[in-house]
C-alpha cells in the first residue's frame, strides 16, 4: 500500500494528497484542469483517472457530484479501464447512496471494492487533520486501508455497511443547517435588541446554549463577513437536497430541517452560492448580503 491514487485535486482533494505525502505515501493524482500544486508537493500528476488506477495500490476520489463520480470510475478514461484485482477504492464524494452502490457493484465485478467514505469538514479543516471521515462498506476492506484513512484526515469512524457513511454525514449536515439558521436568528435578535454582539458571542461560546457553529460562524454573522467563504452555500446545498430525499425515503418528519433548508434555498436562488453559509444571517434579517457585505 505504498502509492495512493487521488482523483479530484480540488479544495478538499489537494490537502488530502498533501497529508498522504507527509505521512510517507506516494501519491499519483488527477484533475481535469491539471495540478502543478501536487507536483510541487512531491506527487505525480496523471493524465486520466485510468492512468491513476494503473499506477496506484489504493484509489481515492473526491469530486463535486454524482455525474463526476460516474465519469472518473466508469467513463472512457475511468478507473475501471485499468482497475487491478484487489484494489480498494475509497470514494469520499457525498452523492446519492443508490447511485454510489451501483458503482460499487461495478468495481466488485472487476475484482476490486469501493467504500463509501464521505468527509465532514471544510477545506481549512482537512490540512490540519481536523475533518472527520465516515467510512462504510466491507469491514475487511476498511481495515485494509486504515492507514490511508489515518493519514487523510483527522478522526475517522467505521459507520457500518455500505451507505452508512453517507447517512451519518446526512445527520451531521442536518444539524449543521439547523444550527446555522438558529445562530443567524439569535444574532439578528441580539442586534435588534441593541446588545453588545461581542459580549453575546463570548457569553454563549461557553454556554450550553451555544454550539460549534455559533462559535465558528457567530463572528462572521456579527461582522457580516461572507467572502472569501470557508464553506459556501453552493457546496452545502446539494447535500441538503440529499437529506430531504433520505428523510422522505425513511418516513422521517423533519420540520425544523425543512424550515432551515428553505432559508438555504432562498439564499441560493438569490445568487449567494459563493458566499459562506453564515450569509443566511441576512436571509433571516431580510437584507441583501450580496450588495451590502462586500
Decide yes or no: CATH 1.10.1040.10 for domain 167-292.
yes
- Nearest to 48, CA basis, from 27, 21, 28: 28
pLDDT of residue 293: 47
Distance (Å, rounded) from C-alpha 146 to C-alpha 294?
44
- Give all strands (DSSP E) within the chain, no chain letters: 3-7, 26-30, 44-45, 58-61, 88-91, 113-116, 119-120, 132-136, 156-160
Residue 294's pLDDT is what?
A: 42
The DSSP bridge partners found for residue 28 are: 5, 44
Question: What rounded mean pLDDT belongs to the chain?
Answer: 94
**Phi–psi pair at 224, nearest 5 degrees:** 50, 55
Residues of the chain with CATH 3.40.50.720: 3-162
Q: How far apart are CA 19 and CA 43, in angstroms?
A: 11
- Choice among 180-194, 227-241, 280-294 with the minimum mean pLDDT: 280-294
Tell me how far apart the alpha carbons of residues 188 and 182 are, in angstroms, rounded to a whole number: 10
Q: Where does the pLDDT of residue 1 fall: very low under 50, low under 70, confident under 90, or very high at 90 and above?
A: low
What's the rounded Cα separation, in Å, for the pair 59 and 86?
11
% of the chain at pLDDT higher than 70: 98
Indicate the pTM of the whole model: 0.91
Over residues 46-67, mean pLDDT: 96
Scored b (16 or more CB within 10 A) or e, 145-184 reads bebbbebbbbebebbeebbbbbbbbbebbbebbbbbbbbb
Phi, psi dihedral angles at 157 (to 5 degrees): -135, 145
Q: Quick check: 291 pLDDT over 70?
A: no
In this structure, whether the domain defined by 3-162 belongs to CATH 3.30.465.10 is answered with no
Percentages of the chain per state (helix, strand, coil), in multiples of 5: 55, 15, 30
CATH 1.10.1040.10 positions along the chain are 167-292
Question: Hey, which residues does 33 pair with through a beta bridge?
Answer: none
Residue 66 CA to residue 241 CA, distance in Å, equals 13
Q: Which of 6-10, 147-151, 230-234, 256-260 has the least mean pLDDT?
A: 230-234
> 3-class SS at 221?
helix
Amino acid at each position: 500500500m505504498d502509492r495512493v491514487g487521488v482523483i479530484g485535486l480540488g479544495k478538499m482533494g489537494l490537502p488530502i494528497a498533501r497529508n498522504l505525502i507527509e505521512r510517507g505515501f506516494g501519491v499519483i493524482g488527477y484533475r481535469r484542469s491539471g495540478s502543478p500544486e501536487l507536483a510541487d508537493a512531491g506527487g505525480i500528476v496523471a493524465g486520466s483517472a485510468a492512468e491513476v488506477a494503473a499506477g496506484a495500490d489504493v484509489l481515492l476520489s473526491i469530486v463535486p457530484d454524482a455525474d463526476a463520480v460516474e465519469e472518473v470510475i466508469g467513463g472512457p478514461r475511468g478507473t475501471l479501464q485499468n482497475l487491478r484485482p484487489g484494489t480498494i477504492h475509497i470514494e469520499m464524494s457525498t452523492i446519492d447512496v443508490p447511485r454510489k452502490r451501483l458503482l460499487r457493484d461495478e468495481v466488485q465485478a472487476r475484482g476490486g471494492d469501493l467504500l463509501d467514505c464521505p468527509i465532514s469538514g471544510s477545506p481549512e479543516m482537512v490540512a490540519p487533520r481536523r475533518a472527520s471521515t465516515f467510512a462504510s462498506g466491507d469491514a475487511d476492506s476498511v481495515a485494509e486501508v486504515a492507514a490511508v484513512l489515518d493519514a487523510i484526515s483527522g478522526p475517522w469512524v467505521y459507520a457500518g455497511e455500505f451507505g452508512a457513511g453517507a447517512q451519518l454525514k446526512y445527520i451531521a449536515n442536518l444539524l449543521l443547517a439547523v444550527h446555522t439558521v438558529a445562530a443567524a436568528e439569535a444574532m439578528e435578535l441580539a442586534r435588534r435588541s441593541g446588545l453588545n454582539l461581542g459580549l453575546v458571542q463570548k457569553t454563549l461560546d461557553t454556554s450550553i446554549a451555544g454550539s460549534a457553529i455559533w462559535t465558528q460562524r457567530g463572528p462572521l454573522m456579527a461582522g457580516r463577513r461572507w467572502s472569501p467563504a470557508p464553506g459556501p452555500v453552493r457546496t452545502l446545498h446539494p447535500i441538503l437536497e440529499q437529506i430531504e430525499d433520505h428523510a422522505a425515503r425513511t418516513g422521517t418528519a423533519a420540520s425544523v430541517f425543512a424550515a432551515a433548508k428553505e432559508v438555504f434555498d432562498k439564499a441560493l436562488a438569490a445568487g449567494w452560492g459563493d458566499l459562506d453559509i453564515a450569509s443566511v444571517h441576512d436571509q433571516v434579517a431580510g437584507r441583501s448580503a450580496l450588495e451590502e457585505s462586500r
